Amino acid sequence: MTVQEIFDLVKSDLKEVEAEFGRQVVSPVETISSIGSYLQQSGGKRLRPALLLLCARLCGSNGSMASIKLGTVVEFLHTATLVHDDIIDDSNLRRGRTAAHMKWGNQTCVLAGDWMYMQSYVLALSERNFHVLEILTDVTQKMVEGELIQLQWLGRSDIDEASYLDIASRKTALLFAACGRLGAVLGGRSPAEEVRIGEYGRNLGMAFQLADDLLDFTSNEKTLGKPVLSDLKEGKVTLPLIYALRRCQPEEVASVKRVLEDSGFDSVGRREIIELVEKYDTLAEAHEKAKGYARCAREELSIFPPSQYRQALLDITDFVIDRNR
């Protein structure tokens, strides 16, 4: 299936998620409503709610209102995380638009992000399902832990692969896993099936994050909506550079450290860093790692009988690792 065909399978549900998002983001506090509306208009692929909806359909749910609500919940959690991430990273742009904190200020947007976290739980609580809350509480806690661990490594060139993968799992992959698990809950599946589809989501999320890191080196500002090598400028050393730093010469390590110390490319150009990962062929190595996670994701779906929804979830793995934005 093409990406469009995959999303078309849950097109009507995604429209309802979008409408529910708009309703839930309204607050008696005008500033919150304004920020919420701005964030919603910033768009995004809505991959997480689409994933939840597809998993729910695979597991036997027939597009219930509960699916719409939980699809909205995961998008709320994701959006709240982006608001806080942009403040922590001091990012000026998000998806090609001015980041919210540049318009409303850090203090206001921290609180708006907090409000979105709480509003997601208000919506989830309406389902009166303790297990749903357990899944969401666990993933939210892990996401915050991931941000704190990442802060410990910020600006350091000595981060190792295991630490990087742990951060990627907590910050990105576990929300994908939660989408799968929630889909299984909505479909009334067994605990064992919930684990398997959750592992599908986790592996998919890891592949997504690794591919996202590659785009920071290989894409362009127009496509990304932000300058290339923004991660390094923000002090984050990702997998292609981790691999390169294992092999490069001392003077090349020094160049990476200067970028981290300067928080920019004043003394070392972006092209110099890109040439470094190209020299040691570590973009291809990181891409192979992403493909490995995608293969693991596909294997987890083997317990489910063939259907258009299983095929869509299988095909999403190709979209994730080969996308250009």
Query: Torsion angle of alpha carbons 145, 148, 149, 155, nearest 10°?
Result: 160
CATH number of the domain at 174, please: 1.10.600.10
Spell out where the chain has E strands: 93-94, 97-98
Report residue 131's pLDDT band, with 50, 70 and 90 as the boundaries.
very high
Structure tokens at 76: 């709320």
Look at residue 188 and tell me whether its pLDDT is greater than 90: yes
Q: 243 lies in which domain range? A: 3-322
The pLDDT assigned to 43 comes to 73
Q: How far is the C-alpha of 204 from the C-alpha of 218, rounded, in Å?
A: 21
Number of domains, the chain: 1
Q: Given a cut of 70, is residue 325 above it in pLDDT?
A: no
Lowest mean pLDDT among 84-98, 145-159, 304-318: 84-98
Report whether pLDDT(62) > 90: no
260-to-66, 72, 76, 253 alpha-carbon distances in Å: 45, 37, 32, 11
CA distance 115 to 103: 18
Residue 95 has pLDDT above 80, yes or no: no
pLDDT in tens, 249-269: 999 999 999 999 999 999 999
pLDDT of 45: 84
Of the candidates 303, 246, 315, which has an alpha carbon nearest to the alpha carbon of residue 3?
315
Would you place residue 97 in the very low, low, confident or very high pLDDT band (cuts 50, 70, 90)? confident
pLDDT digits (tens, 9 = 90+) for 2-29: 889 999 999 999 999 999 999 999 999 9
- For residue range 295-314, what is the model confidence (pLDDT) as tens digits? 999 999 999 999 999 999 99
